[in-house]
Amino acid sequence: MALSSDRMFLELHGNQWRVVVNVPKRLRAELGTKLKKSLGTDSLKEANRLKWDVIADLKATIAHAENPSLSLEIARAATREQALRKAIEFAEQRKGAFDPAQRDEIDEEIDWQAEHLAGRSTAIDEDGNEVFDPDRLRLARDFSQLARGAKTPIDLHHEKFLAMSQVKARTLADDKRAMKLLKDWCEKAGVPPYLQSITKKEAVRFCDELPDLTANLTPVTLNKYVSRLSVYWTWLENRHEVESNVWKGRRLREPQQTTDQKERPFTDDEVRVLLSGPAEPEMDDLMRIAALSGARLDAIVCLKVKDCRDDGVFVFKPQKKEPGPRLCPIHSDLTEIVERRKKGKQSEDDIFPEWPGVKKSTSLRERSFKTSNEFTEYRRSVGVEDRREGKRRGLVNFHSFRRWFITKAEQAGQPESTIAVVVGHKRQGMTFGVYSGGPLLEQARRCVEAVKLPPDPLQAEK
């Protein structure tokens, strides 16, 4: 649509254009069906230049009627937001205008809009220069710079970035929190919230001042948000929206952990206690699969019948940065569990229907959230715990099964690269991929079978 033919919010009354804004049904008894105001021009092009302030005033009237405690001055703050949205539209049109004549037409429209936003001069200074309202003049300058691409709001492309990101809902939530933190910091630090303003120097300032902005968050959590900003900036760099990723290498210093403060594998005795305790059948099955596959909790809980293949292979869903589903040989000691849980079910049925996951589609929690809580309760009930002063989390958790599996595979002399294939760690060179046969599968099977559960002393006596 040509810039001069936009009829949004406009109608022709006689030979002049006027602005028309619909009134919500709940307010029509007070304000009528529509609010209208003449622009005093018969030129549609001129009407498009004049309409935005009028639209903002009429919408402010509606907002004030809906909430009388809201002052008209506050309601009119929407003028700025609306004007900047229009500037973004101009910027997109200008970016796609390769014809010089079309570019000139857009620039002319931008100038006219900016002049109208600045309004008429309010006085003449001592030197004979016109004096304008400073707020309107600032808006006009921001509009012009944004429309011409000299300024780009830091979150302008963020929704598109999120839509293209193939990450979990929790990671998307981290992206949104990271962007909010950056915008909050910009406001507090007096840094214009534009991509062009976020230089390497400002990125360093942000990282330095972030702990003061979020006093209750640990450096580990804050680094997660900085990392998400870095991913966004890399995406912007690849699309030529920024020159470089200013967040690359930026990290807050994390407290150094000693060996006795790091989360660890279960010991053999702890595994023995867990597997010989009064666990519910589903919990016992779950722990054994974890101990003999090294898989993460959510990957196990989400298994379906079709993911436990007849050729003796688990197909775990992608976790962390895995590019696709991961194959893992089913340990011979798990065959009975798998066959029992598959019996009488269809291919799409759950292996662990006892934990169906959260019901709300908007929840950010993984399906295994409740499972994790139940395991923690069971683990503590049998005395498997390792708490250290000053540490929010204990040093053992469900992930300790994964660490135990890796440890046992290493102790059994399995190559590190093969273990990485089995548990889904990144490694160099040849990858396991999605093949169901060949030497890599056999190597992985030998690795899995090399891990043995610690014997139960009571069973050994029998």
CA 259 from chain center: how many Å?
A: 32
| Residue 102 or 113, more confident | 102
Between CA 232 and CA 285 the distance in angstroms is 41
Between CA 440 and CA 432 the distance in angstroms is 6
For residue 363, what pLDDT is reported?
66
Give the model's confidence band at 3: pLDDT under 50 very low, under 70 low, under 90 confident, else very high: very low
For residue 432, what pLDDT is reported?
47
Give the model's confidence band at 447: pLDDT under 50 very low, under 70 low, under 90 confident, else very high: very high
Give the model's confidence band at 107: pLDDT under 50 very low, under 70 low, under 90 confident, else very high: confident
pLDDT digits (tens, 9 = 90+) for 228-272: 999 999 999 998 889 999 999 998 876 655 445 588 999 999 999
The arithmetic mean of pLDDT across residues 315-329, rounded, is 79
Q: Which DSSP string corresponds to 174-190?
A: HHHHHHHHHHHHHHHHT
| Residue 126 or 196, more confident | 196
For residue 142, what pLDDT is reported?
84
Between 55-69, 132-146, 162-176, 388-402, the lowest mean confidence (pLDDT) is in 55-69
Give the model's confidence band at 305: pLDDT under 50 very low, under 70 low, under 90 confident, else very high: very high
Give the model's confidence band at 190: pLDDT under 50 very low, under 70 low, under 90 confident, else very high: very high
The arithmetic mean of pLDDT across residues 132-161, rounded, is 86
* pLDDT of 179 above 60: yes
Between CA 424 and CA 287 the distance in angstroms is 19
* pLDDT of 278 above 50: yes
| Residue 50 or 197, more confident | 197
pLDDT digits (tens, 9 = 90+) for 411-433: 999 998 889 888 887 654 444 44
- For 34, the 3-state DSSP assignment is strand
For residue 102, what pLDDT is reported?
87
Q: Which residues contact 412 (CB under 8 A, 6 or more apart)?
A: 450, 451
Between CA 367 and CA 370 the distance in angstroms is 7
* pLDDT of 197 above 50: yes
* pLDDT of 19 above 70: yes
Contact present, 289 and 422 (Cβ < 8 Å): no
Edge-to-edge strand ranges of the sheet holding 34-38: 10-13, 16-22, 34-38
For residue 125, what pLDDT is reported?
79
For residue 429, what pLDDT is reported?
45
* pLDDT of 220 above 50: yes
| Residue 330 or 2, more confident | 330
* pLDDT of 75 above 60: no
This prediction's pTM: 0.57
The arithmetic mean of pLDDT across residues 320-329, rounded, is 76
Between CA 228 and CA 173 the distance in angstroms is 10
**Tokens matching residue 112:** 């006219």
| Residue 158 or 427, more confident | 158
For residue 88, what pLDDT is reported?
84
Mean pLDDT across the chain: 85
pLDDT digits (tens, 9 = 90+) for 21-71: 998 888 888 889 999 999 999 988 888 877 877 887 788 788 777 776 554
The arithmetic mean of pLDDT across residues 205-232, rounded, is 90
| Residue 341 or 49, more confident | 341
